[in-house]
């Protein structure tokens, strides 16, 4: 569809676009909402700059894509359980999301998208990278596609190379919950999923949460998981979101991975994060 009420500026060849011509502190018109949603499908990750938004504005904008949902391990801000704060203070050396992944793949209905709103950003650094998993799948050889199509992945919140969720630096500033039960969050999903709105196939595996393939041992699974992780985040599949105060972005977890770059130690970064939608992945 042509864009008539918004502007759409691609930020890279692989994915990503900056949207203009909207004021998200007010309801979008039906046509604006339809065009923004279409841009989300076309570019996988979109952002709008220069927005002054409160929680109600963010929830309203999220419903352009799907109903807001909740994250299992962090409490929301007062009065808004779906929105929680990502905070990195100057003295912290670790950040949240500092590895390639797609969000909460270890639950039965992972979020359709992840929305972030920048409230305070460093003078430099702190960008977020995104990677197009349609392109990653399409670049595979016919033999690899044949192996992966129909394969089921096992995804866990507890079994992670960084030692799980306890004792991590961000816990001091984030209101964590239910982390003692992280090992209980295990789900099975197709390694290649079909996007329900575009019909395109995308890789759905990452070495942060994918621990094995169903019917395979951990030792058998790990080399292929690691190879796929390296493949699906090749530079030609990626884009870089540069944050400014007032930037709000959403990426499509059904066809994207993301990576929060930790290159701003000594500076503060504060974002609001909101999971959007809940959907069972299908092959």
- The model's confidence at residue 2, banded by pLDDT at 50, 70 and 90, is confident
- Provide the greatest CA pair distance for the chain: 52
pLDDT on residue 168 = 46
Look at residue 173 and tell me whether its pLDDT is greater than 80.
Answer: no
Q: Are 71 and 242 in contact (CB under 8 A)?
A: no
CATH number for the domain spanning 110: value is 3.60.130.10
Q: Where in the sequence is the domain holding 85, given as residue range(s)?
A: 7-276
Flag whether 57 is in a domain.
Answer: yes
The predicted-structure confidence for 46-62, as pLDDT tens digits, reads as follows: 999 999 999 999 999 99
Flag whether 59 is in a domain.
Answer: yes
The predicted-structure confidence for 18-35, as pLDDT tens digits, reads as follows: 999 999 999 999 999 999
Give the whole-number percent of the chain exceeding pLDDT 90: 89
d(CA 239, CA 247): 16
Q: How far is CA 1 from the centre of its chain?
A: 25
Task: Reduce the DSSP state of residue 226 to 3 states and report it.
Answer: helix
d(CA 118, CA 203): 28
pLDDT on residue 166 = 39
Flag whether 88 is in a domain.
Answer: yes
Torsion, CA 231, CA 235, CA 239, CA 243, rounded to 10: 110
Which has more pLDDT, 168 or 106? 106
Which residue has 């984030």 as its token pair?
174
Flag whether 2 is in a domain.
Answer: no
pLDDT on residue 160 = 56
Flag whether 135 is in a domain.
Answer: yes
- The model's confidence at residue 171, banded by pLDDT at 50, 70 and 90, is low
Look at residue 65 and tell me whether its pLDDT is greater than 90.
Answer: yes
pLDDT on residue 164 = 46
How long, in residues, is the chain? 283
User: Into how many domains does the chain fold?
Assistant: 1
The predicted-structure confidence for 188-200, as pLDDT tens digits, reads as follows: 999 999 999 999 9
Model-level pTM?
A: 0.94
Flag whether 282 is in a domain.
Answer: no
- The model's confidence at residue 178, banded by pLDDT at 50, 70 and 90, is confident
- The model's confidence at residue 67, banded by pLDDT at 50, 70 and 90, is very high
Look at residue 158 and tell me whether its pLDDT is greater than 90.
Answer: no
Flag whether 176 is in a domain.
Answer: yes
Flag whether 246 is in a domain.
Answer: yes
Look at residue 85 and tell me whether its pLDDT is greater than 50.
Answer: yes
The predicted-structure confidence for 91-148, as pLDDT tens digits, reads as follows: 999 999 999 999 999 999 999 999 999 999 999 999 999 999 999 999 999 999 999 9
């Amino acid at each position: 569809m042509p864009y008539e009420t918004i502007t759409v500026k691609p930020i890279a060849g692989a994915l990503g676009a900056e949207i203009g011509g909207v004021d998200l502190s007010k309801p979008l018109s039906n046509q604006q909402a339809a065009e923004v949603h279409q841009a989300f499908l076309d570019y996988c990750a979109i952002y709008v700059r220069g927005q002054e938004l409160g929680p109600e504005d963010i929830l309203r904008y999220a419903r352009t894509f799907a109903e807001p949902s909740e994250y299992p391990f962090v409490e929301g801000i007062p009065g808004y359980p779906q929105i929680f704060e990502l905070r990195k203070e100057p003295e912290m050396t670790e950040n949240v999301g500092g590895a390639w992944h797609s969000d909460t793949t270890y639950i039965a209905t992972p979020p359709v998208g992840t929305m972030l709103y920048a409230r305070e950003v460093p003078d430099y650094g702190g960008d977020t990278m995104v990677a197009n998993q349609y392109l990653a799948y399409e670049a595979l050889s016919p033999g690899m596609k044949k192996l992966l199509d129909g394969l089921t992945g096992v995804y866990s919140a507890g079994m992670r190379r960084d030692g799980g969720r306890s004792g991590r630096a961000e816990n001091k500033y984030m209101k964590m919950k239910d982390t003692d039960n992280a090992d209980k969050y295990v789900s099975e999903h197709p390694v290649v999923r079909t996007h329900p709105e575009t019909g395109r196939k995308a890789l759905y595996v990452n070495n942060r949460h994918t621990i094995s393939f169903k019917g395979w041992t951990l030792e058998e699974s790990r080399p292929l998981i690691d190879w796929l992780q390296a493949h699906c985040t090749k530079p030609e599949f990626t884009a870089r979101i540069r944050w400014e105060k007032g930037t709000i972005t959403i990426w499509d977890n059904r066809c994207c991975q993301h990576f929060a770059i930790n290159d701003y130690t000594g500076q503060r970064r504060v974002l609001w994060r909101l999971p959007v939608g809940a959907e069972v992945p299908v092959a």
